[in-house]
């Protein structure tokens, strides 16, 4: 019976992912739809596995016997997903330790230019002594701002202020923290259809959201010009715990970010409760637990 439950959940998860198509519309609608199709199938599988583990390997359900084989298969799958989470956490911790070894600089000094917002005069960042144009938040709940020497020397104070405001948006939305967990879902569900396509869509929409937040505080044209200047950077961070200004955006979708910055887009439309109500489907497997005896 446990095996039958997992096969049904697997079939439903597969069909849901196959049903996803790139959406049009405003940022909020695209974000909600992409996040729903990204999360719903793997979480449905995960909750089905939790239900099976709660029922145990003994007994029967609606007249069908349960056995050790299906139970241990589910146990192994959950174990693999936890190992993926541990691997990501270790990699993130190592990156954070490496960042902490970089020298700390004061933004706003005559030597390093001037920012605004949270990273204004007197605020600090970690200096990456590299000529590449790079800036990113790296970490988890309280990430570190990392700025390359090349970026500080290449950008004017006005362009640097725009880029810093974009990074402040990532900190405001806690993107490094939430994308760590989304990255975990991506790793243990990479075999499902459209996982990588949806991941890239979420990364792009994350950057568009940060652009929109920054565009309310600095000139959008300055931000667009800064993006065109920095997009040639060759440094690429780990996307699960690194929110970089340009490195996470595929170059073939750069034009979409520029159009969003220069156009009139409603970035902050309210979320629809009906959209997120679909996530309650992941709890359905738990309803089978009382019928196990």
Condensed to tens digits (0 to 9), the pLDDT of residues 137-167 reads 888 888 889 898 888 888 888 888 888 888 8
Nearest to 237 by CA among 249, 225, 227: 249
**53-66 pLDDT, tens digit each:** 777 666 555 555 56
Q: What is the rounded average pLDDT of the residues 85-101?
A: 88
Stretch among 45-54, 205-214, 235-244 having the lowest mean pLDDT: 235-244
């Amino acid at each position: 019976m446990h095996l039958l439950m997992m096969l049904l959940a697997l079939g439903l998860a597969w069909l849901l992912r196959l049903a996803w198509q790139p959406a049009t519309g405003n940022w909020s609608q695209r974000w909600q739809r992409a996040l729903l199709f990204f999360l719903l199938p793997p979480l449905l599988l995960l909750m089905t596995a939790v239900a099976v583990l709660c029922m145990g390997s003994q007994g029967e359900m609606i007249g069908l016997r349960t056995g050790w084989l299906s139970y241990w298969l589910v146990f192994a799958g959950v174990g693999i997903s936890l190992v993926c989470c541990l691997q990501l956490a270790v990699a993130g911790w190592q990156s954070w330790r490496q960042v902490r070894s970089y020298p700390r600089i004061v933004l706003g000094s005559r030597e390093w230019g001037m920012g605004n917002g949270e990273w204004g005069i007197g605020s600090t960042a970690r200096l990456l002594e590299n000529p590449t144009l790079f800036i990113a938040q790296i970490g988890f709940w309280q990430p570190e701002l990392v700025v390359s020497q090349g970026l500080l020397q290449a950008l004017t104070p006005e362009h640097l202020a725009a880029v810093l405001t974009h990074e402040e948006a990532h900190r405001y939305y806690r993107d490094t923290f939430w994308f760590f967990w989304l990255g975990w879902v991506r790793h243990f569900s990479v075999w499902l259809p459209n996982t990588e396509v949806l991941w890239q869509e979420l990364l792009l929409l994350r950057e568009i959201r940060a652009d929109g937040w920054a565009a309310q505080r600095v000139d959008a044209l300055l931000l667009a010009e800064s993006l065109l200047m920095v997009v040639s950077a060759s440094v690429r961070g780990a996307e699960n715990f690194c929110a970089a200004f340009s490195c996470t955006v595929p170059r073939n979708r750069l034009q979409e970010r520029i159009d969003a910055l220069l156009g009139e887009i409603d970035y902050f439309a309210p979320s629809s409760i009906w959209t997120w109500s679909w996530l309650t489907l992941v709890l359905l497997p738990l309803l089978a637990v009382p019928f196990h005896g």
